Amino acid sequence: MVNQGKKQGISRRDFVKTIGAGIGALQTAGVGLGMLELTGCGSSAAPPQPVPPQIVSWPIARQVYTTAQQQVLPVAIAPTIRHLSPGDVSLYAKYGYSAWNIGGPLQHVVRKDIAPAYTGAPNVSRLLYYFSMSDIHIADKESPAQPIYVGWSAPYGPSSSGLSSAYSPILMSTPQVLDAAIQTINAMHKILPFDFGLSLGDACNNTQYNELRWFLDTIDGKVIIPSSGAHVGATTIDYQMPFYAAGINRDLPWYQAIGNHDQFWMGSQFENTKTRKAHIGSAILNLADDPANSDLDSTGDYMGVIDGKTVYGDIFGAGPVADFTTPPAVVPDASRHTLAGLTSTTVNWMSEFFKTTSNPVGHGFTQTNLDQGHACYSFVPESDIPIKFIVLDDTVKGPDQADYAAGALDDQRYQWLVGELDAGQAANQLMVIAAHVPILPQSSLTDTTPYPMWPGPEYTDAYVLNMLHQYPNLILWMAGHRHVNVVTPQPDPHGDPTLAFWEVETCSLRDHPQQFRTFDIRRNSDNTVSIIITNVDPAVQYNSPAYKSRGYALGAFRIFGATPAIIADTTSHSYNAELVVQLTPVMQSVISQAGSAIR
């Protein structure tokens, strides 16, 4: 069963837990569209706001590279440099916090931890080639229902580690970063076609309807109006300007998993009456920024919004209640309504994936998913390749849980997972589990200390791992959630290499290093399998919103987590590897003729 626990409110500590669980010239085009009106925006108190027909586009750099060709590397800054606050965005560049340059390639590390018999046999055929992205966190920066003040007011240094979940200047341009990633994917697809793509959850930042629509419409290639409420700055501020999204290549299917931010207030709290009203109201959220008094219904500080008419995204309406003679407010917008329903946190969110023009319909979800409120499904990408993908919803469910940023499996989802694994094993299919939350990952690339994520009590990490080790055809668990690039071997405790699998976490498009990842599954001449993983920095054009966001993400990473090591860090935070898997004799025979030859 899902863990039952005391309801927790929002605090600085909660955000640490949530996040730790984890530029060409501006091109404008005059379009004869008259005034664009936002469908669903406004309320009886505020009619829909027109947006001028000036629509821009944000093309990426001409050359596209993976980190195996070149890396984005931070430039070290001196330990004596002036300490900045998270909101000192205009000073990030001046003091070097956002500085990066281009470095050489990052080699793939050959990992045979769980395949001791592997002796370096070459890759001979490609079974599947696909991409994953995770934790995009498309954000409505002008929504009054977010806790910006918690992060914006945080002090410099590691005591604030994780508080960038509440505020980071990357909030200004999340749709543009996604658009740059999609353009990069399209460019790579022309060179070596992907079979499909997977988005591993947290498409939204705060489970809002308009956030999810920006996510889907960016991938679909529509006109994006990346603002809400009064739409200030839409004609003068680059990150506020309506833009043409490129859209994903129409012959490239993509699938979706669900994350905690897709369902819960800021990914950490079950929506209550106060937060539901805050999404669509005009009053800026009033919370108690106090770990000792952190229930969502408590008050004390206005949380603020980003002022879209300012170049650096200045914060408006944030601070102690006592500092305001009049409660701060914004223009309300009905399109900000929460996606979390009163009886299901998943159905409204899943429903939007049927309202897209990219493929496939539903992006993995089916009518049965909607009928049952159950966000799990499986698919076989290529009928002639015996590899099955099991997309698992491993997020917490229901009210009054201990930690909505953790992962959990109730009995329904656990039994569904067992049934899918049984079916794949019986059909002689290799299997990949794709979920938002990882299971017992390493806390870093070098630290092997387990990092428990699932509260249990019945289906604990250990319990689930024991079950997974009964399926020799399981080769990979994919996850996001913690915003890190980490690879963890999951060896069989009894030493059988065919019962081992790899776990691969993909970092966030939101936070440094803002990357997605490719997976190239190949058969080797000895009938072992190699999973070649490669990080990719989205290509960006100088001075575009996505270009600026890369520097903002790096600056926030350094300010919120500032230690001597982080300040001096010049590594890419990428991890490229060839992960070798040893198969049973049966599966060696099954795949012996599969795939396309690698020349």
| Average pLDDT score over residue span 22-44 | 28
The rounded distance, in Å, linking the Cα atoms of 256 and 558 is 31
Q: Look at 25-34, 106-115, 180-189, 332-341 and tell me which has the smallest mean pLDDT.
A: 25-34
- Say yes or no to pLDDT of 4 above 60: no
Q: What is the pLDDT of residues 523-576, one digit of tens each?
A: 999 999 999 999 999 999 999 999 999 999 999 999 999 999 999 999 999 999
Residue 451: count of CB within 10 angstroms of its CB? 19
Paired tokens of 317: 């309406």
Task: Specify if 5 maps to a domain.
Answer: no
| Average pLDDT score over residue span 42-46 | 39
Q: Which of these, 533, 584, 545, 526, lies nearest to 119 by C-alpha position?
A: 526
Task: Specify if 485 maps to a domain.
Answer: yes
Q: Please give the distance of CA 515 from its chain centroid, rounded to a whole number.
A: 10
Which DSSP letter does residue 96 get?
T
Paired tokens of 212: 């999810």
461-468 and 411-426 are packed helices; what angle lies between their axes, rounded to 10 degrees? 20
Task: Specify if 3 maps to a domain.
Answer: no
The rounded distance, in Å, linking the Cα atoms of 482 and 479 is 9
CA angle 32-36-40, nearest 5°? 155
Task: Specify if 194 maps to a domain.
Answer: yes
Torsion sign, CA atoms 130, 339, 307, 268: negative
Q: pLDDT at position 35, please?
A: 26
Torsion sign, CA atoms 60, 254, 485, 452: positive
Task: Specify if 24 maps to a domain.
Answer: yes
CATH number at residue 231: 3.60.21.10
- Pairing state between β 223-224 and 243-244: antiparallel
Residue in the block written with tokens 């926030």:
556
Q: pLDDT tier at 453 (50, 70, 90 boundaries)? A: confident
- Say yes or no to pLDDT of 40 above 50: no
Paired tokens of 79: 């330990």
The rounded distance, in Å, linking the Cα atoms of 371 and 192 is 38
Strand, coil or helix: what is 172?
A: helix
The rounded distance, in Å, linking the Cα atoms of 226 and 211 is 9
Torsion sign, CA atoms 326, 330, 331, 337: negative
Q: What is the pLDDT of residues 476-535, one digit of tens each?
A: 999 999 999 999 999 999 999 999 999 999 999 999 999 999 999 999 999 999 999 999
Paired tokens of 586: 């049966």
- Say yes or no to pLDDT of 9 above 80: no
Task: Specify if 7 maps to a domain.
Answer: no
Q: Which of these, 341, 199, 202, 214, lies nearest to 261 by C-alpha position?
A: 202
Strand, coil or helix: what is 214?
A: helix
* Torsion angle defined by CA atoms of residues 320, 321, 323 and 327, in that order, rounded to the nearest 10 degrees: 130
CB 402 within 8 A of CB 413: no
Cβ density class 564-584: b for 16+ within 10 Å, e for less: eebbebeebbbbbbbbbbbbe
- Residue 519, CA distances (Å) to 195, 505, 509 in order: 10, 12, 17
CB 408 within 8 A of CB 439: no
The rounded distance, in Å, linking the Cα atoms of 395 and 404 is 8
Show the domain range for 20: 12-597
Paired tokens of 506: 């993909």
Residue of 389 and 79 predicted with greater confidence: 389
Task: Specify if 468 maps to a domain.
Answer: yes
SS3 content of the chain, % helix, strand, coil (to 5): 25, 20, 55
The rounded distance, in Å, linking the Cα atoms of 39 and 53 is 15
| pTM for the model | 0.92
Task: Specify if 439 maps to a domain.
Answer: yes
CB 522 within 8 A of CB 530: yes
Paired tokens of 532: 């070649």
139 class by beta-carbon count within 10 Å (0-12 exposed, 13-18 middle, 19+ buried): buried
Torsion sign, CA atoms 423, 428, 433, 439: positive
The rounded distance, in Å, linking the Cα atoms of 409 and 466 is 14
Q: Which amino acid appears at position 439 of this protein?
A: I
Count the domains in the chain: 1
